[in-house]
Structure 1
Amino acid sequence: MDTEAVRSFVRAAELGQLQHAADELGVTQQAVSKRIAALERELEVRLFTRTARGVELTLDGQAFLPHARAVVAGVERGIRAVRPNSRALRIDVLGFRTGQAVILHDYWRAHPDTDLDVVTLRAGDPRVVAAAVRAGDIDASFRTVTDPATLPPEVRMTHVLDVPLELLVGPGHPLAAARTVTPAQLRGHRIWVPGIAPRSEWAEFYDELAADLDLRIDGAGPNFGVEVLLETLADSPDVATLVSPRDRLTWPAHHDLRRVPVAGPAIAYPLSLIFRRVDPHPRLHAIIRHFRSLAAVPGPVWRPAWGRTSWASNA
């Protein structure tokens, strides 16, 4: 089996577009298409279906993906065995528009000699990601396993940054003109967060946020992407959402969306990094130091219970 074809399949599955996979692999989109087509002929199944937004895995593609990742990881481990200093630092982020990805990009711009491979594993359950770290599929992930006792013993988790959340609303929302809002002022307002993955740390975060601060967090409905969310906010007088100030969000000028900081207390998400306990990538600690060097959220601050534990404070 052609391992470059398997690698092309994995990158296309992770990025959702053949062109993005081609750009990262340094080949043409046609080359990626040919590799995947050859792989499909060899396996005698369809791995992708094309959509208006790119490509999506078929059921056969979903079944093949974890094994394909294992093949790619095995090849990379073999290369690492003979060229230990040549390997890129492979880090998983929740999404390429998220604040964690933006901060990581800022670090790379300041240190362009750092060979980074930034991926998104599209796994809702952070324990799946922890297993990928343990297996060597990735070097690290910006995820949180809220019960550290369930982490594999080969894997470590450390707190790197508290991420404040702010309200994002359209011009017709009652809080659109506010300079800041308190959690008490958010009570009764619909805070729409579509696509919260079950068993994810974000599901636990929003459940605890709603219970502690008496907020109405609505995760109903399918997630049609950030563009649809922004359009909904622009057109609605009663829908809001919560975002990070660093999230890379852009919208047409006529949307006239407003970012409103939350204070008294601020709402913060404790961002963690999962990585191997033994022999972590040599570039990883510099990235941890960069995240920890960023400004702290001014108090008072609300954090979930699992973000107030000793591992989150001192790890």
Structure 2
Amino acid sequence: MELDLGAVRAFIAIADHQHFSEAADQLGLTQQAISKRIAKLEDGLGTTLFQRSRSGSDLTEDGATFLPHARALIALADQASESVRGCVRPLRVDVLETRLAATELIRSFHHANAGFEVDIITSSGLRSGRSALVNGAIDVAFARVVGALDPSIEYMPAYLEPLHVLIGRKHPLAGNRRIRLCELADSVARMPGNEPGSEWALFYEDLAADFRLTIDTSGPDFGLDHLLDDIGAAADSFVFTGERLRAPWHPEVVQIPVVEPIPCYPHAMLWQRRNRHPALPRLTDYVRAAYQPYDPETQWLPATELHSGRWSAAHGSTDR
């Protein structure tokens, strides 16, 4: 079949927002119009792309398979248009979740460089980011680098994020101004969002092994708001979070820094070597200037990160 680019754009918008109504608002369409585009696309592909429910629209297995190809198709179409129009499209930046540190970093960059437009795209981390960078669907990804990368992908350290804990007021450590890592050994870290094999789950597995912590990844994962309800009611559990996470306020939960040592989550910036977007050099300079190198006296990183040597560089590195 010949794909309708309008329908493919609608599919991507719904995948990003998980709601037909929000995707319709983004594209300036009615909900009926966007529903017709998806119905036409699903009919042409001979499959169902979304599983609808009261809480939103989730990708089916076929929808998840189609998504990176759809992004690549639209990226190529946009590049073709830009080549003759001479316009500069927004810089497409992939982040794991909009509450996390990478979004705050890009937000501060945008405030300092208002002349460049930015599109934030959420994904499943490095697993989708690798292919999206190679095929041009995104310009930049922020993720922890684990495993081999395509030779066309460049990367550098972006931010070592100190970990905090979100802990209920009933917990015996809730009154502390700081919590030492060893003090958490008698509690359980509730982290149902740690997908097996993901770069963030591997980070917490290394942390747990080094400091004899217990991490419970059992689900289902109903999201951070519901998890905080559970944490607020418990006296023996907590959840790790990044220093810059925009956690929703909860009356029974407090946020406390972790120290001795300070565990740090390593965010890297990745991009395609051949990418010529005019905002990319400005962003790399911005990230490099703000980067603070690893301090072995006070901070902890997994052994795999230390062996790579990349995190000790004062201004970032792309060594592999």
Same-fold call, TM > 0.5?
A: yes
Q: Which runs of 4+ in 1 moved over 6 A?
A: none
Contact 1:15–1:120 (CA under 8 A) maintained in structure 2: no
Pairwise CA distance, 1:280: 4.2
Aligned 1:9-48 pairs, distance under 5 A: 9-48=11-50
Q: Which moved more, 1:284-293 or 1:202-211?
A: 284-293
Is there any run of 5+ residues in structure 2 with no aligned partner, and where?
none
Q: In 2, distance between residues paired with 1:7 and 1:303?
A: 40
Is there any run of 5+ residues in structure 1 with no aligned partner, and where?
none
1:239-286 deviation line (CA, Å, top 9, x unaligned): 10111121111134xx33101111121110111011112234221233
Contact 1:144–1:157 (CA under 8 A) maintained in structure 2: no
Aligned 1:1-315 pairs, distance under 5 A: 1-83=3-85, 85-123=87-125, 126-147=126-147, 150-252=148-250, 255-294=251-290, 296=292, 300-308=298-306, 309-314=308-313, 315=317
Task: Mark the CA change 1:24 to 1:198 in structure 2 (over 3 Å): closer, same or farther.
Answer: same
Q: Report the AA paired with residue 276 of structure 1.
A: Q
Contact 1:94–1:120 (CA under 8 A) maintained in structure 2: yes
TM-score (normalizing by structure 1): 0.89
Over the aligned positions, Cα root-mean-square deviation in angstroms equals 2.2
Q: Which moved more, 1:152-161 or 1:44-53?
A: 44-53
TM-score (normalizing by structure 2): 0.88
Q: In 2, distance between residues paired with 1:117 and 1:6?
A: 17
Q: In 1, distance between residues paired with 2:156 and 2:264?
A: 16
Contact 1:183–1:262 (CA under 8 A) maintained in structure 2: yes
Q: Which moved more, 1:302-311 or 1:256-265?
A: 302-311
1:190-227 deviation line (CA, Å, top 9, x unaligned): 11111212222112211111111222222222211111
Task: Mark the CA change 1:181 to 1:92 in structure 2 (over 3 Å): closer, same or farther.
Answer: same
Task: Mark the CA change 1:291 to 1:258 in structure 2 (over 3 Å): closer, same or farther.
Answer: farther
Q: Report the AA paired with residue 135 of structure 1.
A: N
Q: In 1, distance between residues paired with 2:276 and 2:105?
A: 20
Classify the secondary structure of the residue corresponding to 2:220: coil
Q: Report the AA paired with residue 228 of structure 2.
A: L
Q: In 2, distance between residues paired with 1:300 and 1:64?
A: 45
Q: Report the AA paired with residue 104 of structure 1.
A: I
Q: Report the AA paired with residue 268 of structure 2.
A: S
Task: Mark the CA change 1:122 to 1:24 in structure 2 (over 3 Å): closer, same or farther.
Answer: farther
Contact 1:102–1:248 (CA under 8 A) maintained in structure 2: no
Pairwise CA distance, 1:26: 4.0
Q: In 2, distance between residues paired with 1:26 and 1:284?
A: 28
Q: In 2, distance between residues paired with 1:312 and 1:237?
A: 36
Q: How many aligned positions are there? A: 309
Task: Mark the CA change 1:50 to 1:210 in structure 2 (over 3 Å): closer, same or farther.
Answer: same
Classify the secondary structure of the residue corresponding to 1:138: coil
Classify the secondary structure of the residue corresponding to 2:259: coil
Q: % of aligned pairs identical?
A: 36
Pairwise CA distance, 1:21: 2.3
Q: In 1, distance between residues paired with 2:31 and 2:173?
A: 46
Q: Which moved more, 1:90-99 or 1:274-283?
A: 274-283
